[in-house]
Amino acid sequence: MSRGKLSIISCEAGKYFADSIAEALKKLRPEQEFRLVETKEETFANGEIKIVIEKSIRGNDVYIVQCMENPHNPKSINDRLMAMFSAVDAARRAGAAYVNLIVPCYPYARQEKKKSREPITASLIANLLEHLSLNSIITLDVHADAITGFFRTSDFINLFAADHILDYFKNHYSNYLSELVVVSPDTGGVPRARFYARKLNAGLAMMNKERDYSAVNVVDKVTLIGDVSGKNVLIVDDIVDTGGTMINVIDELKKQGAKEIIVACTFPLMNGDCINHFHEFYKNQQIKAVIGTDSVYHNKKFFELYPWYKEVNIAPLFAKIINTINLRMPISDIVSKR
Ligand code: R5P
C-alpha cells in the first residue's frame, strides 16, 4: 500500500535537484507512478516571494525540493528560505495529503548553540517548520545532531552522503588507498572521519581548530593530532564555506609531510576567495581534488574552469527515501549509517 499519488515540486533554486531526483526515481518505479509538478516563483517589486503550484496536488504525497546553497542563483539564502516556507504553505492549502520537505543543506545549521546574547537560529527554523505541520523534513549530513532534537512533531530524517562519497573515492582514487590517513579538520568532525577511516581501512588523524569568534568564518590556528608524514590524506568535512578551515588544514598537513591530499565535503559552498585558493593549491600540486555533492549547484562553466572539482550525484539517495516512504516501507536501512 502506498501513500497515494507521488508528486515532486520545487522552488526555483531546487529545480535542478528535483529534476535529478526524478531521473533517479525513474529507475525505481514506472514513470506513470510519479510526476514533477511545475511551480512558478514570483517576486514582487518590494521583494516578497510567492510560489504558485501549476497543477492540482489534492490528496497527493508531495515532496517539496529546495536547495539553500545555490551560488549560481541570485537570490539570498533568506529569500530561498521564504520561498520554501511559501511552497509548503501553498501545498497544504492545495489539499496535499502529505507534505514533505527535501532540504539537503539545512539552513542556519551552524547556529545550533549560543555563546552569549545570540539566537539559536537552527532551532528557530525548526519551530517555524513545525508550525507548517510537515509530515517529514529530509536533509543530508546535518551539521549538528542537536538539530534532530529541535523537531517534536514532524519526522526529521537525516541522510548520510558518506557511502556515495566513499564509492566515488574508491572508484577514482584507488591508488591512494594504501598508506591513507583520513583527517578530520576539527574535533566535531571526528565521528564522520572515523566512519570513513573504518570503511577505507585507513588511519585516522584530527586537527585541533581554534576559531577567532570575534568575527565570522575566521580560523585562528590548527594543530595536527596524529601522523600524516609520507601518507596520502583524505580530509572529510560537511561544509566548505570560505575555505578558511581547509586552507589552514591543507597548509598544516603539507608542513607535516603529507603526500597527496584529497578533500571531500558534502556541501561545497566555496564562497568568497575559496575557489581561487583551491585553484592555486591545485596548480602548486598541494591538492589532487575536491570532491563535493550535487546538493550544491555548480554550473558547466565551473566544471570547465576547475577540473579539480569532482561531483558526486547524491539525488539517487533522496529518490530512494522518497520511494520508500511513499510505499510505507521501513527506512532504517537507508538512514542508519555512520
Ligand atoms: C565547522 O564546524 C564546519 O564543519 C566547517 O568546517 C566550516 O563551516 C567550514 O567553514 P569555512 O570553510 O568558512 O572555514
Dmax (CA) for the chain in angstroms is 61
What DSSP element (H or E) covers 333? Answer: helix 332-335
Q: What is the DSSP letter of 97?
A: S
Same-domain pairing of 169 and 298: yes
Average pLDDT, the chain: 95
Return the pLDDT at 236. Answer: 98
Nearest ligand 1 atom to alpha carbon 241:
12
Ligand 1 pocket mutation, candidates 209, 245, 265, 274, criterion most atoms within 8 A of CB: 245
Same-domain pairing of 65 and 142: yes
Average pLDDT in the 276-290 region? 97
Same-domain pairing of 280 and 232: yes
**134 is a domain residue:** yes
- For residues 24 and 319, the answer to whether their CB atoms sit within 8 Å is yes
Residue 316 CA to ligand 1 centre (angstroms): 26
**Segment 160-190, tens digit of pLDDT:** 999 999 999 999 999 999 899 999 999 999 9
Return the pLDDT at 71. Answer: 85
Active-site positions read 209
Nearest ligand 1 atom to alpha carbon 244:
14
Residue 164 CA to ligand 1 centre (angstroms): 21
At 338, is the pLDDT very low, low, confident or very high (cuts 50, 70, 90)? low
Same-domain pairing of 59 and 39: yes
Average pLDDT in the 154-162 region? 97
How many whole angstroms separate alpha carbon 269 and alpha carbon 274? Answer: 9
**Segment 127-149, tens digit of pLDDT:** 999 999 999 999 999 999 999 99
Structurally, the chain folds into a number of domains equal to: 2
Nearest ligand 1 atom to alpha carbon 189:
4
Burial of 3 (0-12, 13-18, 19+ CB in 10 A): middle
What is the pTM (predicted TM-score) of this model? Answer: 0.95
Ligand 1 pocket mutation, candidates 213, 218, 239, criterion most atoms within 8 A of CB: 239
Long-range own/partner contacts, residues 124-130 (CB < 8 A, 24 or more apart): 125/81, 126/150, 126/151, 128/85, 129/88, 129/101, 129/154, 130/154
C-alpha cell at 291: 570532491
In this structure, the dihedral spanned by the alpha carbons of residues 148, 199, 315 and 288, taken in order and rounded to 10 degrees, is 110
Same-domain pairing of 181 and 241: yes
Same-domain pairing of 155 and 204: no
Residue 1 pLDDT greater than 90, yes or no: no
Same-domain pairing of 122 and 264: no
**152 is a domain residue:** yes
Same-domain pairing of 73 and 153: yes
Return the pLDDT at 73. Answer: 85
In this structure, the dihedral spanned by the alpha carbons of residues 125, 129, 130 and 132, taken in order and rounded to 10 degrees, is 150
Return the pLDDT at 337. Answer: 62
**1 is a domain residue:** no
- For residues 43 and 15, the answer to whether their CB atoms sit within 8 Å is no
Ligand 1 pocket mutation, candidates 140, 187, 237, 277, criterion most atoms within 8 A of CB: 237
Same-domain pairing of 28 and 108: yes
Residue 240 CA to ligand 1 centre (angstroms): 6
Nearest ligand 1 atom to alpha carbon 240:
12
| Pair type for strands 203-211 and 219-225 | antiparallel
Same-domain pairing of 172 and 292: yes
- Ligand 1, atom 3: closest residue by C-alpha: 239
- Ligand 1, atom 8: closest residue by C-alpha: 239
Residue 153 CA to ligand 1 centre (angstroms): 30
- Ligand 1, atom 1: closest residue by C-alpha: 239
Same-domain pairing of 56 and 188: no
**333 is a domain residue:** no
What DSSP element (H or E) covers 152? Answer: none
Q: Which region, left, alpha or beta, applies to residue 230 given φ > 0 means left and ψ of -120 to 50 means alpha?
A: left
Q: List ligand 1's pocket residues with C-beta within 6 A.
A: 110, 185-186, 188-189, 217, 219, 237-245
Same-domain pairing of 108 and 87: yes
- CATH of residue 66: 3.40.50.2020
158: Cα separation from own chain's centroid: 10
Residue 310 CA to ligand 1 centre (angstroms): 19
Residue 101 pLDDT greater than 80, yes or no: yes
Domain containing 213: what range? 162-312
**Segment 50-61, tens digit of pLDDT:** 999 999 999 999
Residue 213 pLDDT greater than 80, yes or no: no
Residue 83 pLDDT greater than 80, yes or no: yes
